[in-house]
Structure 1
Amino acid sequence: MNRRPRLRTSAAAAAALALAVTNLGSATTAEAKPGEHRAPRPCPTLTVSEGWYGDTRARLDALVADHCRDKGRKPVAVFDWDNTVIKNDVGDATLYWLLRNDRVRPPRNGDWSTTSRYLTPGAAAALGDACPSRGRTLPTATDTRCADEILAVYGTGATSGGADAFAGFDHRRMEPQYAWLAQLLRGWTTREVESFAAAARAENLAAPQGATQRVGTARVTGWVRHYPQQRDLIRTLRAAGFDVWIVSASPEPVVDVWAKGVGVAPSHALGIRNTTDRGRLTAHLRGCGTVRDGEDAMITYIDGKRCWINQEIFGVRGPAAERVQPASRRQVFAAGDSDTDISFLRDATGLRLVINRNKNELMCRAYENGDGRWIVNPMFIEPKQRKTTPYPCATTGYTAPDGTAAPVRRPDGSVIPDQWDTVHQDPRTRTGVA
């Protein structure tokens, strides 16, 4: 507790002292020389104005001011990565680099079912037929049939023949296509994977916007850009004393490499974590909450993101990590762009920034805005045009754990009505319209 100095002072000086004390909640006072008074140092504010819709920038600045240099525990801010902080997907970029550079190892004994417990027998057979084992790594730079099959299973969740590639998973905890990329990294060390990610990062940042690359016989996205607005927001939050984290459904060594580009250290980047064996990644995954290591049943995806945030950021262990925590043990701010982010966004106690990519459940909850804490902003690069039909909130906007479609419900169980897309960008003027 700060003790007030016993001073004999004039009424004017007393008023100045009272004003300084009042302002300590949102700013700090620079150290002054004896007898000298300095004005409180203001909280940082956003410097990039272009791209923010409506009053979004003002609301973000107000949040920073409300928590600027909070005493005690730092307020936590959590960002999704792909298409939230950057345009395009770093997991995709990494897989494309792996395939173009012969860095995917064949499974032992050619049994592709060992790469994912959710891979269907048909998909395992299709991969085995297209990618016979030929040494230490698969020649996917030249073997277009093998590259095409891997790309189909990862990118579409189906074989090149159209059969389902994955089955038997909890759709609120696991996305086996995302997990499969981490599992395809088996046999490499974390440092080696980081070097692959760094090479892919350099290529994608150097490529012109809109560039494509050939992988197998397909033309795929070949560029990535940081959003200046999000880099500025992260800088501002960190300057204000926030504890800023990245939580992504890409492999953690990949996220670590990319997060450095916005000033977030690897210790504050969470992604899909492999188990290791003698220093090398395995095809099995680390667990969270009630899921043990090697069970491969939960990644940083929808409810899994909540679990990993609770466990790694707030220190909640065991079954409790899967549950919503008291407000004092939750993030103040969260940002995301997809249904994979919905649980950790809902947990945020201050503001929830949604980058509009027309994802049903996310946009249903953001547009309904039941507690007034949701902010919707168009994508900063190549924004989506207005969706001309309402989001199907009242019928099929929610994906249940078994994969079936259901209505999106409020915490009290009532159904959210269909919502219209009202925050988008006019492609002719590149300005926000309602």
Structure 2
Amino acid sequence: MRNRNILALTLAAAATLAAVPAAFPAAAATAANSRTAAAHCPQLSKKLSWYGDNRAHLQRMIDERGRCSHPRLGHGEKRPVAAFDWDNTVVKNDITDATIAWALHHDKILRPRSWKSTSKWMTDAADRALTKACGTKVPVGRPLPTSTDTACADEIFEVREDGRTMSGAAAFAGTWDHRHTVPQYAWVPQLFAGHTVRELESYAAKARKQVLAAPVGATQTVGTHEIPGYARYYPQQRDLIRTLKKAGFDVYIVSAGSEPVTEVWAGGKDGVGIDREHTVAIRSVLDRKGRITTWNQGCGDVPVNKGEAIPYIDGKRCWINQEIYGVKGKQAWHKQDRAHRIALGGGDADTDVTFVGDATGAHLVLNRNKSEVMCRAYDDADGRWLVNPMFIEPLKQNPDLYPCSTSAYNEHDGDKGPVRRPDGSVVPDQRDSVY
């Protein structure tokens, strides 16, 4: 994990913390100065299938923003940035779910002193349900027998997956900014409190091996929950990342998962070759012994916290602005000028809509029928939104119109409202057309 020395600070001492505009129908001359130059532009593989003319649009953006048109990138000229969400954007299925499932199957969750202490928003009902299901016989700090205790595994996974107990009671309550965090996402690294980063990385690596070996379509059972039992790197996204890097882009992963888990999947030749320095996810504060705590590093004007500012919706913008462009304080939550925004953003869900929308060159969205991001994508206000079906097991067409004009926008207080363009006009309801 990046900045291990910072993360290892005690809680008391923890720190509080392009480009020329170019639309897709740009003039042909912007791609390269000659056929000879164009021949040396890194090319996306033509053997890999993309929807419609998405490959051509992406290639044009790469040529315009990359070293094909800017040979001094990295040598006096600032590199353009591409940023991708991880789960269901670069890989099929959710690596956090895979890691939690593996941990539950192998008794790797440690009993907390109290379940309520694991999240500032946990309800009394969830605390009671988890305590009843998992018991109090296991000493605090020792592994719970979740491989055989179906009730305990069920309750933990239900809280993580749906923010509810098995009886249907709300697991989290209180006040939080719904565009900065969601408690059950923040709870994942908190669930691994007491483990070292290296231990969590080893669990993620073993889970990764298991789900990559499973056949496409495989499922697994956690308690009584049936979830996907396989994962795959999308070849198209691997190729896109490879091509972007060859063309001189700095490529980042920005995920709402736990950072050690994301780093295991993103790095190395068998991943997508994105190192720790270019991986941004939920960053846990470590104690003096290097163990994960229930505290996280902060973003913008939010200091060390209990989950209030994770890379989630507007939080992804904050983390990109802070970690990539060095924007500090409240300003990190705001949209920056073109010189301090990414060229390409890729995502699949409402959690990604803000940073993907901030991109100046292309907004790539994999269609998972998530309303807010699909409203933005289909409205295509700047002509740079690219919608692609998932490359593996794509969803069928959403039979309903996306409710863009009424309830697709995720408000800060948790309510739903209309999606608006920068000029304040309301996006009309959109039909699902790319599937």
Q: Normalising TM by the smaller chain, what interval? A: 0.7 to 0.9
**CA drift at 1:49:** 4.1
RMSD (Å) for aligned C-alpha atoms: 1.8
Match of 2:135 in 1: 132
Please say if residues 25 and 68 of structure 1, whose CA atoms lie closer than 8 Å, have aligned partners that are also in contact. no
- The 1-side partners of 2:33 and 2:212 are apart by 37
Please say if residues 287 and 295 of structure 1, whose CA atoms lie closer than 8 Å, have aligned partners that are also in contact. no
Change (3 A) 1:48 1:155: farther
| Residue correspondence of structure 1 range 392-407 to structure 2 within 5 A | 392-407=403-418
Structure 2-normalised TM-score? 0.87
Query: Of the candidates 198, 205, 209, which is equivalent to residue 198 of structure 1?
Result: 205
- The 1-side partners of 2:411 and 2:347 are apart by 20
Change (3 A) 1:152 1:399: same
- The 1-side partners of 2:245 and 2:34 are apart by 15
Listed one character per residue, the Cα deviations across residues 257-299 of structure 1 (whole Å, up to 9, x for unaligned) are 0001011112111111111111111011111011110242110
**CA drift at 1:140:** 0.3
Change (3 A) 1:208 1:331: same
Please say if residues 331 and 348 of structure 1, whose CA atoms lie closer than 8 Å, have aligned partners that are also in contact. yes
2:304 alignment partner AA: D
Match of 1:143 in 2: 149
Q: Secondary structure at the match of 1:204?
A: helix
- State yes or no: 1:76 paired with 2:87: no
Structure 1-normalised TM-score? 0.87
Listed one character per residue, the Cα deviations across residues 94-117 of structure 1 (whole Å, up to 9, x for unaligned) are 100110010101112xx1111011
**CA drift at 1:156:** 1.2
Query: Of the candidates 30, 40, 43, which is equivalent to residue 42 of structure 1?
Result: 40
Match of 2:173 in 1: 167
Listed one character per residue, the Cα deviations across residues 278-334 of structure 1 (whole Å, up to 9, x for unaligned) are 111101111101111024211010000000001111111111111111100110000
Please say if residues 48 and 232 of structure 1, whose CA atoms lie closer than 8 Å, have aligned partners that are also in contact. no
- The 2-side partners of 1:39 and 1:215 are apart by 54
For this pair of structures, how many residues does the alignment match?
392
Match of 1:431 in 2: none
| Residue correspondence of structure 1 range 284-433 to structure 2 within 5 A | 284-424=295-435
Match of 2:112 in 1: 107
Q: Which runs of 4+ in 1 moved over 6 A?
A: none
**CA drift at 1:48:** 4.4
Change (3 A) 1:74 1:39: closer
1:119 alignment partner AA: M
Match of 1:262 in 2: 272
- The 2-side partners of 1:378 and 1:190 are apart by 35
Identity across aligned pairs (percent)? 54
Structure 2: gaps of 5 or more residues: 1-28
* Greater alpha carbon shift after TM alignment, 228-237 vs 380-389: 380-389
**CA drift at 1:41:** 5.7
Please say if residues 274 and 284 of structure 1, whose CA atoms lie closer than 8 Å, have aligned partners that are also in contact. yes
Change (3 A) 1:330 1:139: same
Change (3 A) 1:179 1:27: farther
Listed one character per residue, the Cα deviations across residues 85-139 of structure 1 (whole Å, up to 9, x for unaligned) are 110000100100110010101112xx11110111111111111111123031111
* Bigger CA radius of gyration: 1
Q: Secondary structure at the match of 2:50?
A: coil
Please say if residues 76 and 333 of structure 1, whose CA atoms lie closer than 8 Å, have aligned partners that are also in contact. yes
**CA drift at 1:219:** 2.6
Match of 1:9 in 2: none
- State yes or no: 1:272 paired with 2:282: yes
Structure 1: gaps of 5 or more residues: 1-22, 30-37, 425-434
- The 2-side partners of 1:117 and 1:235 are apart by 41
Question: Relative contact order (C-alpha < 8 Å, sep 6+): which is higher?
Answer: 2
Please say if residues 119 and 306 of structure 2, whose CA atoms lie closer than 8 Å, have aligned partners that are also in contact. no
- State yes or no: 1:121 paired with 2:124: yes
Change (3 A) 1:300 1:218: same
- The 1-side partners of 2:306 and 2:191 are apart by 17
